[in-house]
Amino acid sequence: MNAADDKTIVREYFNSTGFDRWKRIYGDGEVNKVQLDIRNGHQQTVDSVIGWLKNDGNLAELSICDAGCGVGSLSIPLATEGAKIYASDISEKMVEEGKQRALETLGNAENPTFAVQDLESLSGSYHTVICLDVLIHYPQEKADEMISHLCSLAQSRIILSFAPKTCALTLLKKIGSFFPGPSKTTRAYLHREADVIKILESNGFAIQRKEFTKTRFYFSRILEATRP
């Protein structure tokens, strides 16, 4: 399968069965045990990133690109803290849901701004570019291109999360729970941390902070890298 196919499959998935599944996981309604575990794991990833940014004490001065924003799980709390958020996602349905949730939470449609866009077609320049749990849908070669493009949009900092290759065995279970039954139409790719760091460094960034989220069915390495 080539990368273009990956992208089409991912878009279609997150506009159909994937949308229904992930909207629930990234919500607060009733879910099964596996989905609850993934919900909690993902929330820890989001909380780690928010914790870093709040600690720095300058959120209200920042412009942030949230690439592959999903339903706004990160964008909405960051906008609540006063950052200017540019949220985008390849899936129209995820973006619609994100807009709706932002309106309910924040009561305005100005911040975050939402757009339906493949992250590789994003342009502009942002203080910080963030891309959480998106690379899992792409093989390393494609992920390298995506990371390089995101680096080109970042004035100061990039924050990425991905499923690390070291947890391969345990992750097989997770993949089964990601795409169960007949909706098993997308693949999950693991990435070696060393490969991700190499591509960040080759784009002129240096690693600053790292975090690792691990629950039973959810694994995510978070890296923050800045321009020296």
* Amino acid found at 33: K
For position 112 contacting ligand SAM by CB under 6 A, the verdict is no
- Judge contact between 100 and 128, C-beta under 8 A: no
- Judge contact between 97 and 76, C-beta under 8 A: no
For position 90 contacting ligand SAM by CB under 6 A, the verdict is yes
Rank residues 189 and 205 by Cβ distance to ligand SAM and give the closer one: 189
x/- letters, 41..80, toward ligand SAM (CB under 6 A): --------------------------xxxx--xx------
Please give the Cα distance from 169 to 188 (Å, whole number): 13
DSSP symbol at 128: E
Cα maximum dimension of the chain: 47
For position 153 contacting ligand SAM by CB under 6 A, the verdict is no
Q: Which of these, 106, 116, 49, 46, lies nearest to 82 by C-alpha position?
A: 106
For position 111 contacting ligand SAM by CB under 6 A, the verdict is no
For position 175 contacting ligand SAM by CB under 6 A, the verdict is no
Nearest-approach distance from CB 120 to ligand SAM, in angstroms: 6
Rule CB under 6 A: choose which of 3, 7, 127, 207 binds ligand SAM: 7
Q: Give the residue closest to ligand SAM by C-beta.
A: 70
114: left (phi over 0), alpha (psi -120 to 50) or beta: beta
Rule CB under 6 A: choose which of 133, 144, 211, 224 binds ligand SAM: 133
Strands 154-162, 219-226: parallel, antiparallel or unpaired by DSSP? Answer: antiparallel
Tell me which residues touch ligand SAM (CB under 6 A): 7, 10, 14, 22, 26, 67-70, 73-74, 89-91, 94, 118-119, 132-134, 137
